[in-house]
Each structure stands twice: as C-alpha cells, then as structure tokens.
Structure 1
C-alpha cells in the first residue's frame, strides 16, 4: 500500500489539531495517569470508526442531506460536552483525580466508553471524512472501497499514536498538578471552559 506525502501530512495536521478528543485524553492523563490516557486515546480512536464507515459507505451523504438527523446528532453532542464541562467543575468528570489512597472511581472501560461517545456525537466528523478520503483515491483506482478502508486504517493508527503521545506527556506532569490544589482548580476551570467552547462551536456548526 502506497501512501502519498500529502495524505500523511494532512492526516497528521488533522489528528494533532486540538479538539474534543485531544482535550479528553489530556484530562485523563493529568487526572488518572498513563494507563487512563492510553484508554482515552483508544476510545477516541474507536469513536472514529462509525464516521469512517459512514463516509466509506456513503451514509454521511444522508446525514448531509437530512437536516433533522444532523440537528439531532449535533445537539446530543452539544449536550454531552456541556455535561462533561459541569462534571469537570464538580470534580466528577474528566479531571476527577485518582491517587493510590483514593478508590478507583472509573474503570478503563468507562474511560473508553466516554471517549467513544465524545467522537461519535460529532456529526461533522462524518462529513469531514466524506470530503477527505476521496481526495486520496485515484480516479482509476481498481478497488476504491478497499483503498478508502486502507487510508482509514492508517488515519486511525496515526490518531491513536498522536493521542497516546499527548496523554503520556500529560501524565508525566501529573504529580506537579495534583499536588498543587490551586493549579488543579485552575485547570478544572480551564478544561470546563474548553468543553463549553467546543460545545458552542459544535452548536454553531452547519451542514
């Protein structure tokens, strides 16, 4: 399988750009450590699968033409981001700190499920992949479906790798954060504000 430099560079820029998934992975690393950040990265990557399949199978076109369906998914995503912001401020969400002395309030499975929902409830992802993938499939491609699936797999691997780097980096400075209540309080407010901002951005999104 040959990959163009344009595809790899564009994919890296898209993956590394700060968004909801990156934000959640950073929060998981800061509050729960390296293992949680890897689980968050895996969940965010897994959450891309439905959007990839929708784009490859042409279902994103339905989402694009159906105003009602788009609005339903969009507002569910907005509501979920606002809930995450509230939980973060209340110390029950993404930045709930866990130490050796405190019980593990969330399993790795819970972190993965939350991360999956973060990406699934964003209808813009399906439309993005619908526009993104075909650009890198040659007009005379013998098996265009297989080619798009291959490109999707590479994109997902890049997503997981970059998110793990983000998460592990956040986990590396975790001790410096959780041992300073003032810093942790500031970060909770900052992350909550970021979730609200992303929710507002999604609310203003058009098809």
Structure 2
C-alpha cells in the first residue's frame, strides 16, 4: 500500500487534471447543456468506462516497463513535465476557448451513442494516457508491494475523483455556464489559477528524485 502522505499529492494532481479543460469536460458540459442532465449522466458512464480501460492497460504496462527498464521512469517524468507545462499554456493562451460556449442547436443523440462517444472520447484522450503514464511512476515503489496492485490503487483513486468532479459538472453545467457568461472576469481568474497550479506540479515533477 502507498503511504497516505504520498497519496495526498497524487490526489491533488488528479483533482487539478480533472478540472483542467479537456475533451472529457467539454463533451460532458456540451451534452448536459444541450440535451439535459440524463444525457450528461449517460455520457459520464461512458467516460468512466474509458478510465477503467486506461487503468487496466496502464497497470499491466507499468508492471512490465518499470521492472524491466528503470530508465523509463526518467523518460516518463520528462514527458509528464512537458505535458503539464503545455496544459498550463493552453489554459492562458490568447483566444483560448471558453468551454461553456456550446452550440445549443444540435440534434439529440441516443443513449447508445452518448455512451459510446463518451467512452471513445476518454479512451482516445492523450491527456488521460499521459497522466497515467507520467504520474503513476512517481508514486509506485517496489518496497510498497506489488507494482500492479499499486497501479490499481492509484487508478481507483483517480477514477473516484474524476467521477465525483464530473458528476458535479453534469449537475451544474447550465448554472455554471450562466454564471461565467454574466461574470467574464472569473473566466480569466480560473484560467490563470489553473495555469499556476499546473506549472507548480510540472516543476515539482521535474525535480522529483528517481527511484
């Protein structure tokens, strides 16, 4: 089992990553606003199943890679650092998209299509794959037990956090969209706060020690 004090940082990282705008968030907000909360929840079910797919694949992959190629840790750490800095830039770059601006004149999708697109949106989301591959190795150590078990432990925590935040997003999408449209200054505050936290996480990851 991974010590609690190390899990705290992982929880913070998982929280920041899930509230940073990306394909999953944009899809859930769009469907929740245009087709209602029921469609949002069906889409969320697909997204969660996509997370489970990533967890299984990464858990088996990390078990093999980290035990066979120690240098992989350094490579993954570098990729993770670069990606976090990229996300920070995306948050504050000029003319970045307001995720609450959606086209309400779109056709309603069937539950099957909502679930499938939610699943594929997550499975094909590089942000999720990079998060798993770059962050998991920072917390997994052989002395804590099975690498595979530790990967599953981190995966379950990440899914619970993502599900909770996305559940709230589906429930409040319309109200939050109205708030931001009436208070545009808060969009800028949210973007710069997000960028600052992502940059901090990138720096912390860059200077973390190899195992």
Q: TM-score range by the shorter chain?
A: 0.5 to 0.7
Q: Give the one of 159, 162, 187 matched to 1:159.
A: 162
Which one of 117, 120, 126 corresponds to residue 120 of structure 2?
A: 117
Structure 1: where are the runs of 5+ without partners?
A: 65-87, 97-104, 177-182, 184-207
From 57, 62, 80, the counterpart of 1:54: 57
CA-to-aligned-CA distance 1:26-54 (integer Å, 9 cap, x gap): 01110111111112222112212222222
TM-score (norm 2): 0.57
Deviation sequence 1:114-166 (CA, Å, 0-9, x none): 11111122345323311211212234122221121021011111111111111
Give per-residue Cα distances to partners, 1:69-98, cap 9 Å, x unaligned: xxxxxxxxxxxxxxxxxxx87944xxx3xx
Unaligned runs of 5+ in 2: 66-71, 73-101, 182-211
Q: Aligned partners of 1:173 and 1:9: how far apart in 2?
A: 22
Give the match's secondary structure for 2:43: helix
The answer to whether the 8 Å contact 2:58/2:132 transfers is yes
Contact in 2 for aligned 1:26/1:166 (Cα 8 Å): yes
| Shift >4 Å, 4+ stretches | 88-92, 171-174
1:65-80 to structure 2, matched below 5 A, reads none
Alignment partner for residue 44 of structure 1, among 44, 47, 57? 47
CA contact (8 A) 1:54 1:126 kept: no
TM-score by length of 1: 0.58
Residues 21, 118 of structure 1: 8 Å contact kept? yes
Q: Say whether residues 1:141 and 2:144 are aligned partners.
A: yes
Distance 1:21 1:165 in 2: 14
1:15 to 9, 15, 18: 18
Secondary structure of the 2:144 match is coil
CA contact (8 A) 2:48 2:159 kept: yes
Equivalent in the alignment of 2:38: 35
> How far 1:9 sits from its partner (Å)?
0.8
Deviations along 1:2-43, one digit per CA (max 9) or x if unpaired, are 542111111100111110100000011101111111122221
Partner of 1:70: none
TM-aligned CA distance change 1:108 to 1:171, over 3 Å: farther
